[in-house]
Structure 1
């Protein structure tokens, strides 16, 4: 069964596909025409050493797709 990847929107949770960022999840807090402002969330027990929960950054909307350098949709907050 394949799930459709939704359009990035405020309140959604996405997970980083990069193996160097195992377990890193992002919550979208704002979007504009080309970018999303995301806040880093780290699930309990993820053990991600470099993650700083609450840190915000901007990511291009076209990176929100399930590729090795993109992000995969998890759900809504």
Structure 2
């Protein structure tokens, strides 16, 4: 099993919350204790959808593979 990397710009992370199944975010920048993220894939069907490209701030300590966190998918800066 691969260790979870430190969040960095350019990475793609997926929301583990079952209510947001399938939602993926790309980290745009890191701002102290938060990551500024851009939605790349909205959550599963049957929910009101945010449009891809929408930005949100997420605390860095949530970027871990728990039921309320996020799991690393791919990417990273150069």
The TM-score bracket by the shorter chain reads 0.7 to 0.9
Q: Count the aligned residue pairs.
A: 74
TM-score where L is the length of structure 1: 0.87
Residue of structure 1 in register with 2:39 after alignment: 40
TM-score where L is the length of structure 2: 0.86
CA shift digits 1:12-57 (9 cap, x unpaired): 00000000101100000010220000000117xx647423211100
> What are structure 2's unaligned runs of at least 5 residues?
none
Superposition misfits of 4+ residues, deviation over 4 angstroms: none
**Secondary structure at 2:61 match in 1:** helix
Q: CA deviation at 1:4?
A: 0.4
Q: CA deviation at 1:3?
A: 1.1
> What are structure 1's unaligned runs of at least 5 residues?
none
Q: Is the CA contact 1:22–1:48 (under 8 Å) kept in the aligned structure 2?
A: no
Inter-CA distance 48–59: structure 2 relative to 1 (3 Å threshold):
farther
RMSD: 1.7
